[in-house]
Structure 1
């Protein structure tokens, strides 16, 4: 098993980052994400916590020889469950690949929390556990190492893409809150 962990601070308050998260896809940095479908969404009336379950459809660039050997397609699916707790200002997301999970399992956990020292920032923590399945046990070290490298690269690209989404989201939010200026003609 290979482990990954990254912590990043966004220079935006938690409420803006957690709202922008729902606008993350599509974005030009992550064209492999084809669809995001909501399976279930509910609010706990006692806690106010929103839980959402989604399926994310991605187009992975799997080498054609490997696809033929495994009988796989480039279309793959990821199951994600997220919770937003407005009281603790925490957005937690857990995801796991559904496709080819007998060969390789990637379990990812993401948290967006209000930065402990600066409420105008949001702390982003991303973790992943990457495990090769028993079918590839002979090459598990190599498969896990290559997958970890690809995961790191994709995580950096995904974070960069989300920064662009955040910037657009801020512009839209500011435009919605600007008073409309009117010109009054006072010609007599």
Structure 2
């Protein structure tokens, strides 16, 4: 099993970041994400916690040798469960691959929370556990190493893409506020 962890600070308040997260795809930095479909969404009336289950379809540029070893194509499916707690100001996203999970399992947890030292910022923590289950140990280690490297690259590109989405989101929010102040929003 290979482990990954990254912590990043976004210079925006949690409310903005957690709202913009739903607009993350599509974006030019992550063309591998083809579709994001909401399967289920519910709100706990007592706590205000919003739980969303999504199916994410991605096209992975996996080397043909790895595809042959795993017996898979380039289209992959990921199940994601997102939990927004508006009182605690946390957005927790847990995902797991559905495609070929018996051979290679990637379990990811992302948490967006108010930065512990600066309330005007949002702390982003991303963790993943990557394990090649039923693959022989030598091959399993090679597949895990490759997958970890790919995950690290995709994580960096994903953060970059989300930063661009956030910037556009801020511009749109500022324009909407300007129109509201000027009375043009009617």
C-alpha displacement at 1:67, in angstroms? 3.1
TM-score (norm. length: structure 1) = 0.92
C-alpha displacement at 1:136, in angstroms? 3.7
1:123-168 Cα deviation digits (max 9, x unpaired): 0000000001113433122211111111111100000000000000
TM-score (norm. length: structure 2) = 0.93
What is the alpha-carbon distance in structure 1 between the residues aligned to residue 158 and residue 125 of structure 2? 13
What is the alpha-carbon distance in structure 1 between the residues aligned to residue 71 and residue 144 of structure 2? 20
What is the match of residue 120 of structure 1?
A: 120
Matched, 1:15 2:15: yes
What is the alpha-carbon distance in structure 1 between the residues aligned to residue 38 and residue 54 of structure 2? 4
What is the match of residue 60 of structure 2?
A: 60
What is the match of residue 37 of structure 1?
A: 37
C-alpha displacement at 1:2, in angstroms? 0.6
C-alpha displacement at 1:77, in angstroms? 0.1
C-alpha displacement at 1:115, in angstroms? 0.5
What is the alpha-carbon distance in structure 1 between the residues aligned to residue 17 and residue 104 of structure 2? 31
What is the match of residue 141 of structure 1?
A: 141
What is the alpha-carbon distance in structure 1 between the residues aligned to residue 131 and residue 62 of structure 2? 18
Question: Which of these two proteins has the greater Rg computed from alpha carbons?
Answer: 1
Stretches of structure 1 that go unaligned for 5 or more consecutive residues are 183-188
SS at match of 2:165: helix
What is the alpha-carbon distance in structure 2 between the residues aligned to residue 49 and residue 74 of structure 1? 35
1:1-188 pair list within 5 angstroms: 1-178=1-178, 179-180=181-182
What is the alpha-carbon distance in structure 1 between the residues aligned to residue 126 and residue 173 of structure 2? 26
What is the alpha-carbon distance in structure 1 between the residues aligned to residue 74 and residue 139 of structure 2? 22
1:68-111 Cα deviation digits (max 9, x unpaired): 45432211100000000000000000000000112110000000
What is the alpha-carbon distance in structure 2 between the residues aligned to residue 28 and residue 111 of structure 1? 23
What is the match of residue 186 of structure 1?
A: none
C-alpha displacement at 1:65, in angstroms? 4.3
